[in-house]
Structure 1
Amino acid sequence: MPKSPKPASVPPGELPPVMKFSNDEVNGIILKNVETIIGNTNYTQEKAQTWAKDILAACLDQLQKLTKPYKYIVNCSIIQKDSGGLYNASSCYWDNTRDNMCTVRWDNRFLHCIVTVYGIAVN
């Protein structure tokens, strides 16, 4: 009977590839939720507050369902399009081999939405 190949060993302190933070996966979660919740709706301050809460809740729910060993921090900014500018920056001190982040900027005709997910490994 042929032997099955041994799984590749993972160096100490690193996560197996299937358990790592995937920017593509997180990007998809963010985009799906922003497009579903905001769509092509016009900006109003009242709606923006509700949208942000809904986007945060939906993203956190779907991130937890990935069952990966991470604590997640999600930030959402919704800004009306006008002539004003916006600069957004963040910085973290963490383990570069295990922790990660993903930022998505999404726009429609009326607003900008910026969502950042930080994934902090817990093991």
Structure 2
Amino acid sequence: MEEYHPTDESSFNPDETTNTIKECIDSVIGRVDYNQQQVNKWTSSICELSLTQMAKQGKPYKYIVNCAVMQKCGAGLHTANSCYWDTAMDGSCTVRWENRTMYCVVCVFAVAI
């Protein structure tokens, strides 16, 4: 069975979303070193800024944003997501970002209204 992927301007675009999320991460933690006391603030700021930017696009979606920040220290980090939804309209993307001292993983889920 072939999946339908809408191409109109109101559809969820994972590539556009990835770029938006990377800009949000860069603006919050782009040039700073990992600081455990700041992680809660950073993750909240990244989620809020991401939601604000996604909502500004005016697309008919409800958004769910999850953010994790981890210090680079040689430990492993594995994440997974699974959704049961309308693949023709709903969408998601995961953005992995890193700098010299930390990793940031942001997952965005877009559920059509």
What TM-score, normalized to structure 1? 0.85
* Partner secondary structure for residue 19 of structure 1: coil
1:54 corresponds in structure 2 to 45
Identify if the C-alpha distance between structure 1 residues 105 and 16 changes in structure 2 by more than 3 Å, giving closer, same or farther.
closer
User: In the TM superposition, what is the alpha-carbon distance from 1:23 to its structure 2 partner?
Assistant: 1.0
RMSD: 1.3
Q: Which has the larger radius of gyration?
A: 1
Shift of 1:15: 5.9
1:94 and 2:90 aligned: no
Query: Are the counterparts in 2 of residues 21 and 119 from structure 1 also a CA contact under 8 Å?
Result: yes
Q: Which has the higher contact order (CA 8 A, sep 6+)?
A: 2
Identity %: 40
Which residues in structure 2 correspond to 1:44-83 (within 5 Å)?
A: 44-83=35-74
Amino acid at match of 1:24: D
Match of 2:32 among 34, 38, 41: 41
Aligned residues: 109
Is there any run of 5+ residues in structure 2 with no aligned partner, and where?
none
* Alpha-carbon contact 1:103-1:116 (below 8 Å) kept: yes
**One-letter amino acid of the structure 1 residue matched with residue 46 of structure 2:** I
